[in-house]
Chain A
Amino acid sequence: MTKNQTIDDAIDKPILTVNKLNVVARSSDKDTAILTDISFNLSKGEILSVIGESGSGLTVLSKSLMNWLPSPLVASKGSVLYRGDNVLNLSTNELRKFRGKIFAYIGSDSTTALNPTVPIGRHLVSKLRAVMPEYSETQAQKRIIDLFDAVRIPSPIERFNEFPFQFSGGMMQRVMIVDALCTDPELLVADNITQPLDVTIAKQIVRLLYDLRDEFGTSVVFSTASLPMAADISERLLVLQNGRVLEEATPKQIVDNPGTNYTKALSERVPRIWSAKHTPMKSLTQKTILSVKNVSKTYFTTDPKAYFSKQAVKAVRGVSFDVLEGENFGIVGESGCGKSTLSRLLSWVEKPDDGEILFENKSINTMNSSELKNLRNQFQLILQDPYTSLPGHKTVGEIIIEPLKIHRSCPPQAYSDRLFEVMTEVGLPKGTEVSLPSQLSASMRQRVNIARAMVTKPNLLILDETMSSLDQVEQARLLDLFDELQRRHNFTYIFISHDLALVRRACSRVLVMYLGRVVEMAANEDLFFNPVHPYSQALLSAMPTLEKNRFDASKVLLEGEPPSPVNIPLGCSFRSRCPNALEICATESPPNSPIRSGQVECHLIAQDKNF
C-alpha cells in the first residue's frame, strides 16, 4: 500500500487496468475458456458498464476483478492491475487489505446476503469496524445511519435495528450499497444489481449510484443485461459476448452506429415505445366476455407486534373492469400492487371477499362445482414460472392431455390426435411428448404450458407474467405465436405484467394498478402518449429505453416505495409518493372520473374541468 501517497498525482491515470485477462474452468483433463483476452481501463470517478446476455461471463468478470473466482475457475493469463499491483498475484492475506477497503462488490441477490438473525445495522457496523478499526462503536453507528440517509432509506434510525426480512428488495439493495460504500472504496463492482427490482425502484437505484459517484468519486463497474439501463448510467460501454469483448463505445455510438452485428441486434431488440407503430388486436364484437365488479380481497396475517391480534393485508380493493371478446387486455403495476392476487381471483383459485366476477354474463360466485369445472374448460391461466409450474415427474404428453382427461372433452382414442394437433400449433417438435420438462429449455416449457392451457379450446387466456422469465428474442417469438393463435381461434387475452414494453406491443387496453386499486384505465395509445394519473407517468418515466423518454424522470419519478398494504393511508393511497398531492388527497378518496377511452382516479383530474 505504498502507492497511497501518490493517489493525488495519479488522478488522470487509470486506477484499474485489465490486461488480456483469461479465465478458464479447469478440470483434470482440459480447460474450458470462460473469458478470453479482456482488456480495459477505468479512471477515477468513471462509471463503466459491461453488458452481455446471461452466460456471457458478466459475473465471472466482476468477481475476477477482485480475485474472487470460485473453483474450478482460474485466471490463466493476463493481469488485473490496481494502481500497478496485480490483484491476481496477491495472497489471501494481502487481498484482505484490498477487499472492503478499496474494492467493494454488490451482487444481484441482495435478499439473502445478510444473516436473517442479526439486525441490519449490526452487520454494517461490524463490517465497518473490521475494515477500519479506527472507528469506535458510536462513530461507526453514526456513519452507517448517515449513509442510510444518503441512500434515502426512510427513518434510518429505526431501520438500523430492523432485521433483513423486514426490508423489501429495493431497500435491501440500498443496504448493500451502504455496505459497499461505508468503507470509502475506490472501486465499486455492481454485478447486475437492478435485475430483480421493479422498474421504478431500479431507476431510483441507478440514479442513486450516479449521485454517489459524484459525491464520493467512486469508480463503478456496472454489469447488466439491459442495454437501456447501461446507456442510462454510464459514459462508456463494454459489450461482452461469449467471454470476449466485442466492442467498447459510448452509448450514443452503440445506438446510432453499432460496430458489430451483435451489438446492432442487441440495440434493435430493445423495444421502441413511442417511435414504433403497434397495432394490437382490438375487440371486433364489443361483447363483454369477462366482467369484474367491485372485487376485494383481504388476507389476514398475524401481527408481529402483538400477540393475539391479526392484521389485514388489503391486497385488492374494489376493482372493476370489463374485458371485451377478442381483445388483448393489459394489467400493469409494480410488485405488491395486487396483480397476482387479482390473477388468483380471476382464475377462481381463491374467492373474493366482496364483489363478483361474471364470465359470459354468468356470475362465477353462484356457480356449483360442476358448472365451475365446465368453466375451467373455457378460461385458462398460464403461469409465470416455466420451471415450477409443470409437474416434474410427468412427460410432456401426459401434462398436455391431462385437461382432456379431467374434462372428458373427447374420447380417449382421440387424445393423441389432439395432442399432436396442439403441439404443432405451439411449435413443439414431434418427439418432445415423451421427454420430461427438465429436459426442455425455458421457452419450450412455456410452450408446454401454453399447449396445456389451450388443449381444451378455451375462449379466454390469462397470462400471468408468462413472458417475464424469457429473454427478448423468445418473448418476441411467443408474442407472434399468441397473435397467430388469436387470429385462428379468436382468443381473448389478459396480460398481467410489470413489463410496460410488452404491454405496449401486445395490449389494446391497459389498466394500471396501485395498491390494489385501479388508478387509470385507458386505450394503449392514450396511456403511452398521454397518461393522466401521476403514477402512470412515473411508471413510464422509469422505463428503460433507448429513445428519449417522453417523461422526464427528474420531474415525475417517484421516491420511496409503495406503502405497505397493511397501513393504507387515508384518502388517496398514492398521496404519499405523489409529487403534486393536494390537501384534499389526504382526507378523501379520489372519485372515479371517466375520461377519453377509460377512467382515472385522481383529485387533480376531478378538479380540472378541462378533462
Chain B
Amino acid sequence: MLKAAWKRPQFRIGLIIIVSLLVLAIILPLISSTSATTLSIRERFAPPIFMDGGNLKHLFGTDQLGRDLLLRSLIGLQNAVFIGLVSVIGMFFLGAIIGMYAGYKGGWIDTILMRITDAQMSIPVIILAITILGVSRPTAFSVIVVLILAGWPTYARVIRSVTLTESKKEFVRAAKIIGASDQRIILSHIAPNILPPVAFIAVLDVARMMIFEAIFGFIGIGIQPPIPTFGNILADGTKYLINAWWITVIPGLFLFTALISLNLIGSTLESARNEALEGREQ
C-alpha cells in the first residue's frame, strides 16, 4: 500500500515538504547563532529579506520585540507537530482499546463504555480546553491531555463498529474453540485486521490537532510565552497587522505548508488503500 501511495506525485510532494520542514525545524535552532527567544529591541519590526530594509541575519524578519521570525516559526512547528502526533497516537490507542473491548465483549460492558463515549462526545472541545487549561498553567502535556480527551470517542465509536462485524466472523469463533483468551483474540486476531485502515485516516487527524493547538495558542490557553507556538505568534502579530503584516503571515505560511503536506500524505494513503481494497492495485 505504501508502495502504491509512493507512486503518486501528491504523496511524494507532501512527504518531501514535511520532511524538509521538520529537518529544518530540528537542525536550524541548534546551529543558529541566536535563539527564538533572544530579544533585540534595535532590530524590531525588521521586514523579510525580499523587502526594503530586510537583512540576511533575519531572513523572514523580526517581530515587535526583535525576535527572529524564522526561528520562532520553526520552534512553533516543532511544538505543533509534537503535540499533533502524540495526541493522535494517544487518542488512537485509547479509542482502540475501549472500542475493541466494548465491541468484542458486547452486553452491558458495551453499553456502559459507549454511554461514557457519548457523554464525552457531548462536551465541545473548546469548553473542555478552557476548563482544563484555564484552571492550571497550560503545558505541552496538558494540551495533549485535552486533545486526547476530546478526540478518543470518535475512534472508540468507529473501532467498536468494525470490531462488532469482525468478532462475528468464523475465524474468531475458531480461535475461541482452540481455547484462545479474550485478550489474545482481540490483540492477535481482531486488531491486525481493523486497526490499519483507521491508522491511515488518523494521519489526517494530525493536521486537525495541529490546528487545535494553534487555536488554543491564539486564545491564550496553549503553551505559554515565551515558548513560541503558531497560536501565540499569530495572536501577537494581529496587533501590528497594518505596519508589520509579516509577523502574522510568515508563521501562517509555515503552518499552512505543513498542514497541506500532511493532508496530501493522508488523503493519498487513504485513496491508495481504497484502490487496494477494490483490487485495482497491481
Query: What residues of chain A lie closer than 8 Å to B176, measured between beta carbons?
Result: 349
Say if the beta carbon of B170 comes within 8 Å of chain A. yes
Q: Which of B3-11, B12-20, B139-147, B178-186 contacts A (4 or more CB under 8 A)?
A: B178-186
A71 within 8 A of B: no
B177 touches A388 (CB 8 A): no
For the complex, give the distance between the alpha carbons of A383 and B171 in Å: 9
Q: Per-residue 0/1 for B154-183: is the Cβ within 8 Å of any A Cβ (1 yes, 0 no)?
A: 000000000000000111011111111100
Once bound together, how far apart are the Cα atoms of A402 and B124, in whole Å? 45
A402 partner, pick from B169, B178, B192, B193, beta carbons under 8 A: B178
Bound form: Cα–Cα A173–B189 in Å: 37
Q: Which of A109-117, A182-190, A374-382, A410-418 has 4 or more CB atoms under 8 Å from chain B?
A: A374-382
Contacts of B179 in A (CB 8 A): 372-373, 376-377, 403, 406-407
A564-B184 Cα distance, complex, nearest whole Å: 38
Is there an interface contact between B192 and A388, defined as CB atoms closer than 8 Å?
no
With a cutoff of 8 Å between Cβ atoms, the chain B residues found around residue A407 in the complex are 179
Q: Say yes or no: A383 contacts B178, CB within 8 Å.
A: no
The reply to whether the CB of A347 lies closer than 8 angstroms to some CB of chain B is yes
Residues 424 to 459 of chain A near chain B (Cβ within 8 Å): 449, 452-453, 456
- Is A347 a contact partner of B177 (Cβ separation < 8 A)? yes
Interface positions of A from 341 to 390, Cβ below 8 Å from B:
347, 349, 372-373, 376-377, 380-381, 383-385, 388-390
B170: A residues at CB distance < 8 A: 383-385, 388-389
Q: How far is the CB of B131 from chain A (nearest CB, A)?
A: 40
- Answer yes or no: A393 CB below 8 A from chain B CBs: yes
Selected from B169, B173, B189, the residue in CB contact (under 8 A) with A349 is B173
Q: Within 8 Å CB of B193, what residues of A?
A: 391-393
Contacts of A383 in B (CB 8 A): 170, 173-174, 177
CB distance from A463 to the nearest CB of B (A): 12
Residues of A within 8 A of B175 (CB): 391, 402
Closest A residue to B169 by beta carbon equals A388
Bound Cα distance A347, B192 (Å) = 26
Q: A391-B189, A392-B193 are in contact. Are A403 and B171 (CB under 8 A)?
A: no
Give the chain A neighbours of B174 by CB distance below 8 A. 381, 383, 389-390, 449, 452
A459 to chain B, nearest CB (A): 15
In the complex, which residue of chain A has the Cβ closest to the Cβ of B192? A393
Give the dominant DSSP class at B's interface: helix
Shortest Cβ distance from A462 into B: residue? B177
A388-B169, A389-B171, A390-B171 given as contacts; is B189 within 8 A of A381 (CB)? no
Bound-complex Cα distance A390 to B177 (A): 12
Q: Are B178 and A452 in contact (CB under 8 A)?
A: yes
In the complex, the chain A residue whose C-beta lies closest to that of B179 is: A376
Q: Do residues B177 and A381 form an inter-chain contact, with CB atoms below 8 A?
A: yes
A381 to B174, CA, bound (A): 8
CA distance A406 to B180 in the complex (A): 6
A410 to chain B, nearest CB (A): 15
A380 close to B178 (CB less than 8 A): yes
Q: Are A349 and B171 in contact (CB under 8 A)?
A: no
Q: Tell me if A380 and B192 are in contact (CB < 8 A).
A: no
How far is B180's CA from A383's CA once the two chains are assembled, in angstroms? 16
Contact with A along B31-47 (1 / 0, CB 8 A): 00000000000000000
How many angstroms between the C-alpha atoms of A389 and B189 in the bound complex?
12
**A residues in contact with B171, CB < 8 Å:** 388-392
Q: Assess whether A376 is in contact with B169, with CB atoms less than 8 Å apart.
A: no
Q: How far is the CA of A406 from the CA of B188 in the complex (A)?
A: 12
Minimum Cβ distance to chain B for residue A387 (Å): 8
Contact string, A169-185, partner B, CB cutoff 8 A, digits 1/0? 00000000000000000
Contact present for A402 and B180 (CB under 8 Å):
yes
For the complex, what is the distance from the CA of A188 to the CA of B56, rounded to whole Å?
A: 86
Chain B residues within 8 Å of A406, by CB: 178-181, 184
Closest chain A residue, CB of each to CB of B191: A393
The 0/1 profile, CB within 8 Å of B marked 1, for residues 103-127 of chain A is 0000000000000000000000000
Name the distance in Å between A587's Cβ and chain B's nearest Cβ. 40
Contact of A403 among B169, B173, B178, B192 (CB under 8 A): B178
Q: Is the beta-carbon distance between A376 and B189 smaller than 8 angstroms?
A: no
State the Cβ distance, A347 to closest chain B Cβ, in Å. Answer: 5
Within 8 A of B (CB), among A136-152: none
For B177, give its contact among A380, A391, A392, A393 (CB under 8 Å): A380
- CB closest chain-B residue, reference A369: B181
0/1 string, B184-228, CB within 8 A of A gives 1: 100001001100000000000000000000000000000000000
- Whole-angstrom distance between the alpha carbons of A347 and B176 in the complex? 9
With both beta carbons as reference points, the residue of chain B lying nearest to A452 in the complex is identified as: B178
User: Which B residue sits closest to A398, measured CB to CB?
Assistant: B188
Nearest CB of B to A391, in Å: 5
Inside 8 A of B177's CB, which chain A residues have their CB? 347, 349, 376, 380-381, 383
User: A135 CA to B171 CA in the complex, in Å?
Assistant: 52
A440 CB, nearest partner CB in chain B, Å: 14
Q: How far is the CA of A585 from the CA of B189 in the complex (A)?
A: 50
Which residues from B are CB-within-8-Å of A349? 173, 176-177
Chain A contacts of B181 at CB under 8 A? 406
* Most A CB within 10 A of own CB, among B178, B192, B193: B178
Closest residue of chain A to B171 (Cβ to Cβ) is: A391
A389 CA to B175 CA in the complex, in Å? 9
Which A residue sits closest to B174, measured CB to CB?
A389
Residue of B at shortest CB range from A347? B177
Q: How far is the CB of A128 from chain B (nearest CB, A)?
A: 37
Bound-state Cα–Cα, A392 to B184, Å: 16
Chain B residues with Cβ below 8 Å from A380 are: 177-178
* Complexed CA–CA distance, A449 and B177 (Å): 12
Q: Which single residue of chain B is at the shortest CB-CB distance from A407?
A: B179
Q: How far is the CA of A372 from the CA of B184 in the complex (A)?
A: 16
> Which residues of chain A in 543-564 are interfacial with respect to chain B, using CB atoms and an 8 Å cutoff?
none
**Residue of B169, B174, B181, B184 ringed by the most chain A CB atoms within 10 A:** B174
Task: Give bound CA distance, A391 to B176, whole Å.
Answer: 12
Please, how many angstroms separate the alpha-carbon atoms of A380 and B259 in the complex? 53
A-side contacts of B173, CB under 8 Å: 349, 383, 389
- In the complex, what residues of B have CB within 8 A of residue A449's CB? 174
CA distance A381 to B176 in the complex (A): 10
Q: Contact check: which of B178, B184, B192 meets A376 at CB < 8 Å?
A: B178
How far is the CB of B191 from the nearest CB of chain A, in Å? 10
CB distance from A368 to the nearest CB of B (A): 14
Residues in chain B near residue A372, CB distance under 8 A: 179
Q: CA–CA, A229 to B52, complex, Å?
A: 93
Complex Cα spacing A543 to B179, Å: 37
CB distance from A372 to the nearest CB of B (A): 8
By a CB distance below 8 angstroms, the chain A residues around B189 are: 391
- Separation in Å of the A382 CB from the closest CB of chain B? 9
Chain B residues in 8 Å Cβ range of A385: 170
CB distance from B125 to the nearest CB of A (A): 35
Query: How distant is B276 from chain A, measured CB to nearest CB, in Å?
Result: 14
Contacts of B180 in A (CB 8 A): 402, 406
Name the distance in Å between A350's Cβ and chain B's nearest Cβ: 10
Within the assembled complex, what's the spacing in Å between the Cα atoms of A389 and B172?
8
**In whole angstroms, what is the CA distance A403 to B193 when docked?**
20
Residues of B within 8 A of A347 (CB): 177
Question: Which of A349, A384, A449 has the most B CB atoms < 10 Å from its CB?
Answer: A349
Given A380-B178, A384-B170, A389-B170, 18 other A-B residues pairs in contact with their CB atoms under 8 A: A347-B177, A349-B173, A373-B179, A381-B174, A383-B170, A383-B173, A383-B174, A385-B170, A388-B169, A390-B171, A390-B174, A392-B193, A393-B193, A402-B178, A406-B178, A407-B179, A452-B174, A452-B178
Query: What are 16 A-B interface contacts by the 8 Å CB criterion?
Result: A349-B173, A349-B177, A376-B177, A376-B178, A376-B179, A380-B178, A381-B177, A384-B170, A388-B170, A390-B171, A402-B175, A402-B178, A402-B180, A406-B180, A406-B181, A452-B178
Residues of B near any A CB (own CB < 8 A):
169-171, 173-181, 184, 189, 192-193
Which A residues contact B (CB, under 8 angstroms)? 347, 349, 372-373, 376-377, 380-381, 383-385, 388-393, 402-403, 406-407, 449, 452-453, 456
Closest 6 CB pairs of A and B: A376-B179, A389-B170, A388-B170, A403-B178, A391-B171, A389-B174
